[in-house]
């Protein structure tokens, strides 16, 4: 499947874009705190947003400042969640999640990126039927990894699927079971390559090398945009 390898590559790239990454995390934390309160023990979305920020080495001061902004302790922009759907180079289906204080700017930028790459922005629902919303946890494999134990704990906690790959282990859950499965795995002191609610493709699209190069450039542009939080594609991996 190869998704773990792709995540590692993305995380390495994100390390070189630390300022942009921190901006994205800060927005996510602020909105989660605003919508569900500033205590991560009682706000699962905030807890996950903080964990993701810490995984990218975001300083605690930045995290606390974002939480305070969310609960009204500081002036803050009014961010809005928007999901765009469309097609990238070679007909690859794309779902793009944004968190923005200016939806006209966000829509214009997304349309520009897609058009320039040879894709197009579609209407709501045009590609989402090719994806499923799932919890996805990717655990690094090391010398101390006990595959049987990991599988047992994950499945008993409610995981739907457990797949061993060369780089590690992939655990899939229903969105509502994600927190319980992650909490169970946390007790084993595992190292996550990624742990989030994601949109996983149910069908895949294969493209040639030229289109893949254009897609990689498009994904770089989307990564660089502060409004863009997540990008999902149904690209078939080699």
| 26 part of a folded domain | yes
70, 93, 117 - which closes a domain = 70
Contact 173/158 with Cβ under 8 angstroms?
yes
Q: Is residue 114 part of a domain?
A: no
Return the structure tokens found at 86. Answer: 């469309």
In a domain, 138, yes or no: yes
Domain boundary among the residues 70, 87, 109 is at 70
Instruction: Confirm whether 122 is domain-assigned.
Output: no
Q: Is residue 30 part of a domain?
A: yes
Name the one residue in this structure whose structure tokens are 């995390």.
Answer: 25
- Which residues in the chain land under pLDDT 70? 1-18, 73-76, 238
Final residue before a domain boundary, out of 70, 87, 112: 70
Spatial contact of 186 and 217, defined as CB atoms under 8 Å apart? no
Cα separation, 43 vs 132, whole angstroms: 24
Instruction: Tell me, yes or no, whether 232 lies in a domain.
Output: no
CATH of the domain at 12: 1.10.10.200
Cα→Cα distances 163→4, 136, 140, 159, Å: 11, 11, 12, 11
Please give the tally of structural domains in the chain. 2
DSSP letter assigned to residue 123: -
The CATH number for 197's domain is 3.30.70.980
Q: What is the pLDDT of residues 208-232, one digit of tens each?
A: 999 999 999 999 999 999 999 999 9
Is residue 14 a part of any domain in this protein? yes
Q: Is residue 17 part of a domain?
A: yes
| Residue 198 to residue 175: CA distance in whole angstroms | 9
- Cα gap 25→5, rounded to integer Å: 22
Q: At which residue do the structure tokens 């030229």 appear?
A: 210
* Residue-range definition of the domain harbouring residue 154: 130-201
Burial class (CB in 10 A: 0-12, 13-18, 19+), 180: middle
Its pTM stands at: 0.81
C-alpha distances in angstroms, 100 versus 42, 77, 81, 109? 25, 9, 7, 12
Four-CA torsion 196, 199, 202, 207, nearest 10 degrees: -110
* Per-residue model confidence as pLDDT tens digits over 98-130: 999 999 999 999 999 999 999 999 999 999 999
């Amino acid at each position: 499947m190869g998704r773990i390898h792709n995540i590692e590559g993305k995380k390495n790239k994100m390390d070189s874009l630390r300022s942009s990454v921190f901006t994205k995390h800060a927005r996510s934390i602020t909105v989660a705190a605003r919508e569900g309160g500033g205590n991560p023990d009682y706000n699962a979305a905030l807890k996950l947003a903080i964990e993701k920020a810490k995984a990218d080495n975001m300083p605690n001061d930045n995290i606390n400042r974002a939480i305070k902004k969310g609960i009204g302790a500081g002036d803050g922009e009014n961010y809005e969640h928007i999901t765009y759907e469309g097609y990238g180079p070679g007909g690859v289906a794309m779902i793009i999640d944004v968190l923005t204080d200016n939806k006209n700017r966000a829509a214009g930028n997304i349309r520009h990126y897609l058009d320039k790459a040879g894709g197009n922005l579609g209407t709501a629902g045009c590609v989402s039927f090719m994806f499923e919303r799932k919890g996805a946890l990717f655990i690094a494999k090391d010398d101390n990894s006990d595959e049987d134990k990991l599988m047992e704990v994950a499945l008993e906690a409610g995981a739907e699927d457990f797949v061993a790959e060369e780089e590690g282990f992939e655990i899939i859950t229903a969105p509502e079971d994600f927190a319980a499965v992650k909490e169970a795995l946390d007790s084993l002191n595992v190292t996550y390559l990624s742990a989030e609610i994601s949109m996983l493709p149910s069908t895949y699209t294969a493209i040639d090398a030229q289109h893949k190069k254009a897609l990689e450039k498009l994904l770089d542009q989307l990564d660089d945009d502060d409004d863009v939080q997540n990008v999902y594609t149904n690209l078939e991996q080699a």
